[in-house]
Amino acid sequence: MRTAGALLAAGATLSVAVLGIAGPARASDYNRPVNICNYSNKKAAIARVLDSAGGMVSRGWTHVENGQCKVLDARFLLMQVYGDRDTVWRFDTFSSQFCAKSESYVIYSPGSASACTDTNGSMRSFSSVPAGSGRYDFNLRP
């Protein structure tokens, strides 16, 4: 009886240890580094949506000059020609609407249309960063 109790206790300890290793996913686990290289002959402006501990956050703008590459962590990206919001690049993935502004910004709760209106932003289509692990490389072309 004593041996069975010891084995049960050892098994419970091992189970807790094994389960504790995996743990819950952190918000940053959903963000992926994207290496964006600009070969478009135009300046690019990049806005991104990231998962953070407090929820999703939208940040804009990072500029990528022609011939330059930058690595950005993101879950969703809006990539457009600087000063031309109609010329955009997209991933072959789904997209979601998030708030963006024309000047530099940080918006918490970027999926809320009413909060977007309150900050004088506009809801824009952001492409989901392709799933996977490790860095994703993406080239901006004309």
Stretch among 18-22, 50-54, 111-115, 125-129 having the lowest mean pLDDT: 18-22
Q: Give a yes or no: residue 16 inside a domain.
A: no
Q: Of the candidates 73, 64, 68, 66, which has an alpha carbon nearest to the alpha carbon of residue 46?
A: 64
Q: How high is the mean pLDDT of the chain? A: 84
Q: Give, as one character, the DSSP assignment of residue 68.
A: -
> Is the dihedral angle over the CA atoms 53, 55, 60, 66 positive or is it negative?
positive
Give the helix/strand (H/E) hosting 7.
helix 2-22
The predicted-structure confidence for 108-136, as pLDDT tens digits, reads as follows 989 999 989 999 999 999 999 999 889 99
Domain interval for residue 77: 27-140
Instruction: Provide the domain count of the chain.
Output: 1
Q: Give a yes or no: residue 6 inside a domain.
A: no
Give the helix/strand (H/E) hosting 127.
strand 122-128
Q: Give a yes or no: residue 15 inside a domain.
A: no
pLDDT of residue 66: 96
Question: What are the residues whose beta carbons fall under 8 Å from the beta carbon of 8, sequence distance 6 or more?
Answer: none
Stretch among 15-24, 25-34, 50-59, 68-77 having the lowest mean pLDDT: 15-24
pLDDT of residue 16: 39
pLDDT of residue 30: 84
Q: Give a yes or no: residue 36 inside a domain.
A: yes
Question: Rounded to an integer, what distance in angstroms lies between the CA atom of residue 75 and that of residue 72?
Answer: 10
Q: Give a yes or no: residue 55 inside a domain.
A: yes
On the question of pLDDT at 20 being above 90, the answer is no
Please tell me the pTM assigned to this model: 0.77
Q: How confident is the model at residue 28 (pLDDT cuts 50, 70, 90)?
A: low
Triad 91, 78, 60: Cα angle to 5°: 150
CATH number at residue 52: 2.60.40
